[in-house]
Amino acid sequence: MVLPELLIKNAAHIIKNAKAIIITAGAGMGVDSGLPDFRGPEGFWRAYPPYKNKGLTLPDVANPEWFEKDPEFAWGFYGQRYHLYSSTKPHAGFQILKNWSNNMKNNYFIFTSNVDGQFQKAGFDENRVVECHGSIHFLQSIDGSSNIWSVPDNFNVEIDKDSLKAKPPLPMSPKDEYNKSQLARPNILMFGDYYWNSERTDIQHQRFDSWFHSIKHEPFVVIEIGAGLYVPTVQMQTEKLVELGNHKDTCYIRINPRENKVDGTKNISLPMGTLQALEKIEGYM
């Protein structure tokens, strides 16, 4: 059995010798900042106890149908999340990743399923981030017909603490050419969502694809952090990128205290929390 310290040392060696970094991140990235990771129903209920009494899981609540049948309920959930994410400070691991990226002359990109905007808040370039599920810091109309707009500086959703329902007035879209407005919703891909406006995320994907084409023949490393199998988007993306890489030294480092299985002999699994793993790797840099 390979000792964990040797794995950490190998991870540091790989990062130092890479020509580019791709950071892929799931909900576990924010746990050390105090954010919930919604790991399974129990994890979701720990973050939102009132939903346990109703027997509602994350796919039940994070569903666009609520904006039609009970908009106060819908905005209670997303309004609370917006306030939480907006008031949360990114943990020190973000700065470690930023330093590694800066040492490569900013030759990096981020692919994340998180909608919290923590990478941008930590100082990463907005144009080097793909938010594959959208962002809570942007809004759209509930039918997806409007343009996407940023959450205004004075944005506030007042929420009843017992019911977790939002109090009117609820966010509305800008008025159209007919002087009409409709209910707004976060520009986030929800479960069973046919009305998500993906234009902003599509542009992010296009930027990433162009950049990746320019570096895929070089030795790059994918550092995957806190990505689970409940929604496997990030783990699948990590493995796909390494498969598409055209250099013998290309590999990935998977940081996850539980779902950390890796394929092949080059890739590294670190069964640890995010901040602990990044700090230990930094110790060998």
The Cα–Cα gap between 108 and 25 comes to 14
Strand-pair category, 134-141 with 149-150: antiparallel
Own/partner long-range contacts of 2-11 (Cβ < 8 Å, ≥24 apart): 4/270, 4/271, 4/272, 7/268, 7/269, 7/270, 8/270, 8/277, 8/280, 8/281, 8/283, 8/284, 9/284, 10/268, 11/253, 11/268, 11/270, 11/281, 11/284
- Least Cα distance to 259 among 220, 231, 222 occurs for 231
CB 195 within 8 A of CB 143: yes
Q: Which residues are catalytically annotated?
A: 133
Strand-pair category, 108-112 with 129-131: parallel
Residue with tokens 């994918």: 222
